[in-house]
Amino acid sequence: MRPLNQLIGAVLARLAGIVSGKHYHPAEKWACSLTPSGRSPRLLLPLYYDYRATAAGSVDYTAVASGNQLSYNLYSMSFSDGKPVAGEHSLSCEVPGIRRGDVLTVSLVEPSIALNGVRLSAISARHVEARKFIAEVQINAEGVRFSRLCSHYLPFDNKPVGSDYYFGDDYTDYPRQTPWADGVALVNRHGARGRLLDIGCALGIYTKAFLDVGFDAYGFDVSEFGISEAGKRVGAGRVRCASLDAGDIPFAGKFDVFWLWDVLEHFSAPEAALAKVTERANPGSLLFLHTSNADSLTHRIFSKDWEGYSDYSHYGVDQVTCKSLRAWVERLDWEIVEWECRNIWIEGVDPVVLRLKEVFGNSSELRVLLDELELGDAVRLVARKR
């Protein structure tokens, strides 16, 4: 990604070493290549590239260093134990040399490759049906082999939220969720009881967990596929297909508990959606909400390549910040009883950005800093209706 990101990552790594007593040595833990290095060591290649592809499916790589014998390989992204790995091979090309400032343009869809606008002959090229990709770029410079792993994704627009979305290809692997650890434990800690509504229930995994511990649980989601799967878990009468952007809550009556986990940012009008939820709350009802923060550190660093834009159904992600969320819940007469703004949201295989995630993950001081300055990517709140 941008050279600025590398500088920030190095500074934060040094800072984390100072405050936590640990030392971080860039490029030693995270792999910078898909293959063993052989006789020559492989160092991390500085590279400015696009994480998010254009609407036409192309990405640019701008050389930060000059070198020779550049090789490029593109793969679909696959998953092993929930972690991204290289899948089907899509494109391979070799270039005799490259200079600082040269731009490689790759079409993820066609696929094809060009250097400074001149199309190159590929060693191999085949279309692979995928949304996420892994690229490996290597060059020789002064007798040393440099490598970089890069992640890319296609920015789908208006794609239905179907089976692809729920099993890792488009967004995340929903069956790997742990509702007992971050759901049931949280509501139990706040003494929640009674009639519960799971808003954006997806496959019904949380709805089922709440039902199993005694809640009169119901759920709804915009995805017809998600609701069909959720119905198999909790019964068709407890889940329905509906959208708070287009309509109202599809169940009659009021609720004692509302569960909105990673859903508020999906609404085109998140404040209006929260107002519709409030209309169904009793005095004393509890709201459990987890969402993104558009004022986060990583959004400020990565701009259009912020992870919050990777989900094509995040229609309202730019509207949801710590400031706006606090204003909404207070205006709707909810009392905030628990608030947390933490986490660094980074996915993929790039060792530079993964180091940033690791630094904040290993330093309790930096995690507190995110919370204090409200720079985390995730906000969690619990509120009680007055």
Structure tokens belonging to residue 307: 């992870």
Q: Are 322 and 293 in contact (CB under 8 A)?
A: yes
Residue 381, pLDDT > 80, answer: yes
Structural Rg of the chain based on CA atoms: 23
How many CB atoms sit inside 10 A of residue 38's CB? 8
Domain ranges in the chain are 31-153, 163-385
- Label residue 83 by pLDDT band (50, 70, 90): confident
Residue-wise pLDDT tens digits, 223-272:
999 999 999 999 999 999 999 999 999 999 999 999 999 999 999 999 99
For the chain, the straight-line distance linking the first and the last C-alpha, in angstroms and rounded, comes to 46
Collapsing DSSP to helix, strand or coil, 283 comes out as strand
Cα–Cα dist 223/234, whole Å: 16
Architecture of domain 163-385: 3-Layer(aba) Sandwich (3.40)
pLDDT at 348 over 70: yes
Residue type, 246: A
Position 188 confidence tier, pLDDT thresholds 50, 70, 90: very high
May I ask the CATH class of domain 31-153?
Answer: mainly beta
Angle, helices 322-331/270-279, rounded to nearest 10 degrees: 30
β-bridge partners, 290: 261, 380
Instruction: Note the pLDDT of residue 163.
Output: 77
Question: Is pLDDT of 28 > 60?
Answer: no
Mean pLDDT of 301-312: 94
d(CA 271, CA 278): 11
What type of residue sits at position 34? Answer: L
Percent of the chain with pLDDT over 90: 78
What pLDDT, in 10s, does the model give residues 126-148?
A: 999 999 999 999 999 888 999 99
Helix, strand, coil percentages, rounded to 5, for the chain? 30, 35, 35
Kind of pairing between the strands at 124-125 and 42-44: unpaired
State how far the Cα of 377 lies from the Cα of 70, in Å rounded to an integer.
36
pLDDT at residue 4 in the model: 45
pLDDT at 194 over 50: yes
Model pTM score: 0.87
